[in-house]
Amino acid sequence: MPIPKMLAGGVAAALALGAGGAIVHEALDSSPSSAGTQTTASARPIAANSTPSAIYDGAKDAVTYIVADTPQGQATGSGFVVSKDGLIVTNDHVVDGASRVQVIVGTSKQAQQATVVGADPSRDLALLKVDGHDLKTLSLGDSSSIGVGDNTYAIGNPFGLDHTFTTGIVSALNRDLQAPDGATISGAIQTDAAINPGNSGGPLLDADGKVIGVNSQIETGSTNGAEGGNVGIGFAIPASTVKAFIADAKGGKVAPSQQQQQQQADPWGQGQQQEQADPWGQGQQQQEQQADPYGLGIG
């Protein structure tokens, strides 16, 4: 059987496609030598059914380039801003076990340190926090309202090529994916928009420029385990799952593991361990209870 892959370069994992049996995906992040060259332009509102160029212009300043230092080496991926004060959604496999995470927001060209404030391997999602004020954001759409044949748009950093924009359609709905920890991610969106290693964590947009999914895995057609590229079959975690994850992260239910917290040196810039351990201000006891809800650890 052909081998799909997760979209984070340098990190491989086994995933499954529900009705088709087990297949290997590779994280869609990659390991470029630099963050690439970015073109600065102001964002503009996205009108319903606007042109692809308008969708790109409206979204590009909210898409992020992520570099994570992990025990396996440097992994890169994508993400997108969901709050004006700097909350960013990406895939968990992009930042899993990272001792340091750096993010370039939009077309700013300025890298800054990010903190993992929420991580859920069972949904392959992570929530990062950077210092921010009035940042451009992307809105989460209604993934339950899309249909096969609807237009899709992907923005990310495949092979380190920042802000690459591709188009396609919804090819199928309700695919089952296997998360890095073996859990099943249901309701995934299949698309033929080109996504490749480095696209992990980036947004899949609808015709209104809203996020309907988080690009996470692809089918590569490779049978020898070598890193492959897009063959027109990609998968995105649905926005409904992302919304639930963000709510859980803000509620302290999917905090990063204690090991990952210890690896992040003073992420809030406060010089106090308490601020690092309790970023949502919900109390040390709750943080300890929720630090590793799945009992898996990270790293």
The catalytic position among 124, 192, 278, 292 is: 124
For 109, the enclosing helix (H) or strand (E) is none
Sign of CA dihedral 64, 211, 232, 8: positive
Measured distance CA(118)–CA(20) in Å, rounded: 31
Report whether 60 contacts 43 (CB < 8 A).
yes
Distance CA 66, CA 203 (A): 13
Instruction: Respond yes or no: is residue 124 known to be catalytic.
Output: yes
Q: What angle do CA 173, 122, 275 make, to 5 degrees?
A: 125
Residues 6+ apart with CB under 8 A from 296: 121, 181, 257
Is 163 labeled as catalytic in the residue annotation? no
One of 25, 29, 92, 93 is an active-site residue; which one? Answer: 93
From residue 25, how far is each of 1, 66, 192, 246, 271 by CA, in Å?
Answer: 12, 20, 16, 25, 40
Check 31, 78, 200, 257 and give the catalytic one: 200
Shortest CA distance to 139 belongs to which of 199, 183, 75, 80?
80
Secondary element (H or E) of residue 39: none
Q: What is the DSSP string of 213-254?
A: EEEEEEEEEESSS------S-EEEEEHHHHHHHHHHHHTTTT
Is 144 an active-site residue? no
User: φ and ψ at 249, to 5 degrees?
Assistant: -65, -45
Residues contacting 158, CB < 8 A, separation 6+: 28, 30, 164, 194, 195, 196, 197, 198, 199
Active-site positions? 93, 124, 200
